């Protein structure tokens, strides 16, 4: 690291700019020394449209200047300030007017600029000078004249010759050029290694133009959207009048004008009286979980309008609630003014799978370019701490190196130029040094295929056999074929080097960064179903939730069907319902008893579970019933289950009918819903605040309790408060802790439906009695009891969980819906560690990361030693401190390199801290010293300063690596910005980009950490401390690319 000057120490922003200059080795100024003036003079300018020859604006006399890179005209009454600049790379051709020798034309992609000189000789001189410079930018480079000539030029000449001959052969076969919808900066559409892409080239002005001849099956629909679906979704770019429902009880629905932007990135709305859309009133479409037709949300229930139910729909998305303490689903509820408009929105809704940077670009202007002022605003929204002078300087540099012309005055940027600006902010640090260390043949332009292959083998742990010529060429073409302006910048405005960069397959630094952030360089193995799903249910960990109906606090929170939907869509396979006697509209209610939580209707919850149970996974869903109902209502519950669930409900016990000794497998129970419950002849039930229809003589009251009066119960106002969407319940007077006992016999109808998960209780607890129970019976333990059994009897608990299911749940004093550490429970083999899904704390992050394995199906196969503990020669214990002979240990090292966009949008951060920890059995828990930095947009760390190193992780199958980033604002405590939890064995060694997620688990597009991961697996013999390396390189299953929004990070 170079020493900072006194000026840099006083101004960190100046230090940033100077570091960019030092890293490039040249002067980055608006007046590039390679730009030389050639000719200047006054010309009359007229602009016309190319397709219909319509004139755009009047004819005006301007002062023009021709340089070695562009033709510009200056501000009026100024000989210095440039008003507009037209790069010569954007000029298609120069034409002379045969009728008027003083007139010549510059032809662009969409427009034609007609220029008139003062004399025919002056016009001829202008045309000749423009053609001379234009030819330099469009000429084929001659290798013999190249100062960059290397031993690979012969191969380059041969390749160009082959392409030229192929183009000549295909001249008569003019196929339609398909516009590639892949984002200019995104890697989410990268083609698969085994997919077949056939390209056809034609030679035009010395440049290679690609024509797509055949698309791979996975990209076929995406590449043809422009043609096959254009009529459907282009209609949505027009404005539609709709009724938008507010999310406040005291507000009423109002008419709004809605439309989707041209790139299908946002849905925007405004009042009919406003002249333009405000970008703060938008919903990014990539955040939408579901399009729900009809009036099926609670806000529709506040203001029902059943006559237009067929014209209503909702866009469901996730958002933070109560200041970020909880997370839940929200909705944008709309009613179309015409059935045809409703059909257009439902059928034409199309989500463009492009990059996060393009989404930010579209928030500032719904056009193909940004003015200098809008670019400044967007740059400060991304990086609020950026210096104004530095920002203006970088915008001028990006504008100078653009390949396309602009229509705005000043230093306007098109999309390609904006990517140059963004990459300029990144052009320094260890990543650039790493890039330069491999770029030998063309140091300023990029990596060749051989150099890129060497980087993948040495830095990313790729196998040499995976680095085939075809694979490397496809990845380089994908990540770099849109970065033309950056190639011009890398060539330092020298035409010959620019043509080398455009014709020779090279990976520029911008493409290099795009590769590092893409799914080609995935941090973990793909989350696909790879495990054996034919084992008994007791051999799997099951994703479970506690009090699933709650959206917040345990005492006064809101109950909602949306909470069940969110849990099921996140892969939860065990959900809970608390059933109580009700009245009025619903005989059975679901809520947290003895509290002020709102109430749900039983039938609405069951229908919701049925509708969403198998959206994410086809493997069985377990409904844990906490039963507080009378025998009459239990019989009613059984009837509802049979009528609503139908064949989906599991009613046959294969253990009893076939005499099995093991539970059935998840594969055998696919598409089934299993009931779990406890049933006794004497049922303890609390006095419900709505038990007005049940005679009090049926209860034996042990203590005095007070409920609301009959007048309150029968009032219309309170009657309307009870609904299937969980509206506010009437306030109850506090009761004593004593319970009432209901002595009537329980009907058997509901008990017969519980076949595999019959929860029983053994008091006092006895392991000998536990071993006598059936495999169809299971146990539920509270958090304190479960912790006690794990610490004092881990071997007995492992033996129990090998044949029977065990569920744990949070202790009753966690009123704020906080969670507990599930890793110890998993270490002892407990299957269903129920957590509060609405609380996005660290333990919930661990649960999400753990169950992303196995395709996120909600079932994770236990380690072999936990499934065969009785057959192992050495007992496994979650409290072991030495390596187990049957478990390979792992040595892990993670070095922190840098970060990207580690601050919220439009928020200025003072500093940030990065934590890297491992969680698992007690011996595997450790943490790296906290890494801090004062730049949240672009933090860089010195080599070897922050390294997480851990030798001999004893139980790698249960070990989770947890990344956490906190930001500090000018006031207040540090706040979580992003996190990610990855299973240890799925980590891929090498230089990786770890994407960050929100507290709720959604991907934060564009934000993440660059790290270098080193991982080595070893096996130790019993009593031997040394380890022999087994495997350092992993296979490359992630070469099969998928166009996935979650993996689109660029």
DSSP 398: H
Residues 6+ apart with CB under 8 A from 489: 397, 398, 401, 420
Could you give the angle at which helices 509-517 and 469-480 cross, rounded to 10 degrees?
Answer: 100
952: left (phi over 0), alpha (psi -120 to 50) or beta: left
- Give the Cα separation of 907 and 556 in Å (integer): 32
Catalytic residue among 156, 383, 478, 546: 546
Q: For residue 778, report the phi and psi dihedrals to the nearest 5 degrees.
A: -135, 175
What dihedral angle (degrees, nearest 10) is formed by the CA atoms of 562, 565, 567, 569? -140
DSSP 28-62: --SS-TT--EEEEEEEEEEEEETTT--EEEEEEEE
- Report the DSSP beta bridge partners of residue 1041: none
Residues 6+ apart with CB under 8 A from 596: 555, 556, 729, 731, 732
The two tokens of residue 446 are 């990029």
- Give the Cα separation of 751 and 635 in Å (integer): 9
301 is catalytic: no
Residues 6+ apart with CB under 8 A from 832: 542, 544, 574, 622, 805, 806, 807, 808
The two tokens of residue 399 are 């504008």
Q: Could you tell me the CA-to-CA distances from 756 to 156, 264, 639, 653 in Å, in that order?
A: 68, 47, 19, 7
Element (H, E) at 63: strand 55-67
- Contact between 37 and 67 under an 8 Å Cβ cutoff? The reply is yes
Residue with tokens 């007609």: 114
Which class for 697: exposed (0-12), middle (13-18), buried (19 or more C-beta within 10 A)?
Answer: exposed
163: left (phi over 0), alpha (psi -120 to 50) or beta: alpha
Catalytic residue among 138, 266, 479, 592: 592
Q: For residue 607, report the phi and psi dihedrals to the nearest 5 degrees.
A: -65, -40
The two tokens of residue 119 are 């004399």
- Report the DSSP beta bridge partners of residue 835: 545
- Give the Cα separation of 298 and 292 in Å (integer): 13
Element (H, E) at 232: helix 230-234
- Give the Cα separation of 790 and 807 in Å (integer): 13
- Give the Cα separation of 204 and 194 in Å (integer): 30
592 is catalytic: yes
- Contact between 74 and 46 under an 8 Å Cβ cutoff? The reply is no
Count CB atoms within 10 A of the CB of residue 394. Answer: 24
Strand 931-933 to 82-87 pairing: unpaired
* HEC-encoded secondary structure of 903-959: CCCCCCCCEEEEEEEEECCHHHCEECCCEEECCCCCCECCCCCCEEEEEEECCHHHC
- Give the Cα separation of 979 and 849 in Å (integer): 10
Count CB atoms within 10 A of the CB of residue 832. Answer: 25
Could you give the angle at which helices 372-382 and 415-424 cross, rounded to 10 degrees?
Answer: 40
The two tokens of residue 652 are 């046959």
The two tokens of residue 240 are 């539609």
- Catalytic site residues? 546, 592
């Amino acid at each position: 690291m170079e020493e900072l000057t006194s000026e840099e120490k006083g101004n960190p922003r100046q230090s940033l700019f100077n570091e960019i200059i030092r890293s490039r080795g040249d002067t980055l100024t608006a007046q590039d020394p390679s730009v030389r003036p050639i000719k200047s003079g006054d010309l009359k300018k007229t602009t016309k449209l190319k397709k219909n020859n319509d004139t755009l604006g009047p004819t005006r006399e301007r002062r023009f200047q021709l340089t070695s890179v562009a033709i510009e005209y200056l501000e009026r009454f100024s000989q210095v300030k440039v008003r507009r600049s037209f790069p010569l790379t954007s000029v298609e051709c120069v034409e002379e007017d045969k009728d008027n020798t003083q007139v010549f034309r510059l032809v662009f992609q969409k427009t034609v600029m007609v220029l008139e000189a003062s004399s025919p000789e002056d016009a001829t001189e202008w045309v000749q000078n423009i053609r001379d410079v234009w030819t330099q930018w469009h000429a084929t480079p001659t290798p013999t004249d190249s100062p960059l000539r290397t031993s690979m030029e012969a191969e380059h000449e041969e390749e160009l010759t082959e392409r030229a001959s192929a183009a000549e052969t295909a001249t008569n076969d003019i196929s339609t050029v398909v516009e590639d919808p892949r984002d200019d900066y995104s890697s989410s559409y990268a083609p698969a290694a085994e997919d077949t892409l056939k390209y056809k080239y034609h030679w035009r002005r010395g440049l290679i133009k690609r024509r797509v001849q055949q698309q791979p099956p996975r990209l076929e629909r995406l590449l043809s959207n422009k043609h096959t679906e254009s009529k459907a979704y282009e209609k949505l770019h027009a404005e539609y009048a709709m009724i938008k429902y507010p999310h406040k009880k005291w507000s009423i629905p109002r008419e709004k004008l809605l439309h989707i932007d041209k790139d299908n990135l946002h849905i925007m709305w405004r009042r009919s009286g406003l002249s333009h859309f405000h970008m703060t009133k938008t919903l990014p479409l990539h955040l939408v979980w579901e399009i729900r037709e009809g009036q099926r949300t609670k806000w529709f229930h506040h203001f029902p309008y059943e006559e237009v139910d067929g014209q209503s729909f909702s866009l469901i998305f996730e958002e933070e609630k109560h200041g970020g303490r909880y997370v839940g689903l929200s909705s944008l509820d709309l009613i179309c003014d015409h059935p045809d408009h409703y059909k257009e929105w439902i059928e034409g809704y199309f989500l463009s799978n492009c990059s996060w940077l393009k989404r930010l670009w579209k928030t500032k202007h719904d056009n193909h370019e940004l003015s200098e002022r809008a670019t400044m605003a967007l740059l400060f929204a991304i990086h609020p701490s950026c210096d104004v002078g530095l920002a203006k300087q970088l915008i001028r540099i990006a504008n100078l190196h653009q390949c396309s012309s602009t229509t705005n005055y000043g230093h306007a940027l098109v999309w390609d130029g904006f990517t140059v600006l963004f990459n300029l902010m990144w052009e320094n640090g260890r990543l650039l040094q790493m890039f330069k260390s491999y770029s030998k043949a063309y140091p300023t332009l990029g990596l060749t295929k051989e150099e890129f292959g060497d980087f993948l083998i040495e830095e990313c742990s790729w196998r040499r056999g995976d680095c085939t010529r075809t694979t490397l060429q496809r990845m380089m073409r994908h990540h770099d074929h849109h970065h033309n302006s950056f190639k011009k910048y890398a060539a330092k405005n020298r035409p010959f080097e620019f043509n080398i960069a455009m014709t020779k397959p090279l990976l520029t630094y911008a493409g290099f960064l795009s590769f590092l952030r893409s799914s080609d360089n995935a941090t973990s193995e793909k989350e696909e179903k790879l495990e054996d799903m034919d084992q008994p249910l007791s051999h799997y960990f099951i994703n479970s939730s506690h009090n699933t109906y709650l959206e917040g606090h345990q005492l006064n929170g809101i109950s909602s069907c949306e909470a069940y939907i969110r849990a099921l869509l996140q892969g939860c396979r065990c959900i809970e319902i608390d059933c109580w006697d009700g009245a009025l509209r619903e005989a059975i209610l679901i809520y947290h008893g003895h509290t002020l939580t709102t109430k749900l209707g039983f039938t609405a919850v069951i229908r919701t579970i049925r509708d969403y149970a198998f959206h994410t996974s086809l493997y069985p869903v377990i409904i844990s019933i906490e039963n507080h109902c009378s025998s009459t209502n239990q019989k009613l519950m059984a009837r509802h289950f049979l009528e609503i669930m139908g064949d989906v409900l599991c009613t046959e016990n294969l253990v009893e009918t076939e005499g099995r000794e093991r539970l059935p497998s998840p594969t055998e129970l696919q598409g089934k819903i299993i009931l779990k419950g406890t049933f006794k002849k004497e049922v303890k039930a609390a006095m419900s605040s709505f038990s007005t229809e049940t005679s009090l003589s049926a209860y034996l009251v042990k203590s005095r309790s007070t409920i609301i009066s009959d007048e309150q119960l029968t009032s219309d106002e309170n009657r309307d408060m009870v609904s299937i969407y969980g509206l506010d319940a009437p306030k109850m007077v506090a009761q004593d802790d004593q319970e009432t006992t209901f002595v009537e016999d329980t009907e058997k109808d509901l008990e017969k439906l519980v076949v595999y998960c019959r929860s029983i209780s053994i008091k006092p607890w006895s392991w000998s009695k536990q071993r006598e129970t059936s495999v169809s019976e299971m146990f539920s333990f509270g958090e304190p009891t479960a912790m006690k059994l794990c610490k004092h009897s881990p071997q007995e608990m492992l033996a129990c969980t090998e044949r029977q299911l065990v569920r744990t749940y949070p202790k009753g004093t966690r009123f704020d819906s906080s969670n507990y550490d599930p890793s110890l429970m998993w270490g002892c083999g407990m299957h269903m560690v129920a957590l509060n899904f609405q609380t996005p704390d660290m333990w919930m992050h661990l649960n999400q990361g753990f169950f992303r394995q196995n395709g996120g199906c909600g079932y994770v196969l236990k380690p072999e030693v936990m499934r065969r503990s009785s057959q192992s020669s050495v007992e496994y214990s979650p409290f072991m401190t030495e390596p187990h002979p049957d478990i390979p240990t792992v040595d892990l090292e993670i070095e922190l390199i840098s970060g990207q966009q580690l601050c919220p949008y439009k928020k200025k951060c003072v500093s940030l801290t990065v934590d890297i920890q491992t969680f698992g059995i007690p011996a595997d828990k450790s943490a790296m010293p906290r890494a801090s930095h004062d730049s949240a947009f672009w933090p860089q760390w010195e080599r070897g300063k922050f390294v997480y190193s851990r030798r001999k992780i004893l139980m790698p199958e249960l070990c989770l690596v947890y990344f956490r980033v906190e930001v500090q604002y000018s006031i207040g405590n540090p706040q979580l910005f992003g996190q990610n939890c990855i299973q240890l064995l799925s980590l891929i060694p090498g230089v990786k980009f770890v994407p960050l997620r929100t507290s709720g688990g959604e991907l934060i597009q564009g934000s993440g950490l660059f790290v270098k991961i080193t991982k080595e697996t070893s096996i130790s013999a019993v009593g031997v401390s040394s380890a022999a390396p087994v495997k350092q390189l992993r296979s490359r299953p992630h070469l099969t690319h998928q166009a996935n929004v979650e993996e689109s990070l660029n």
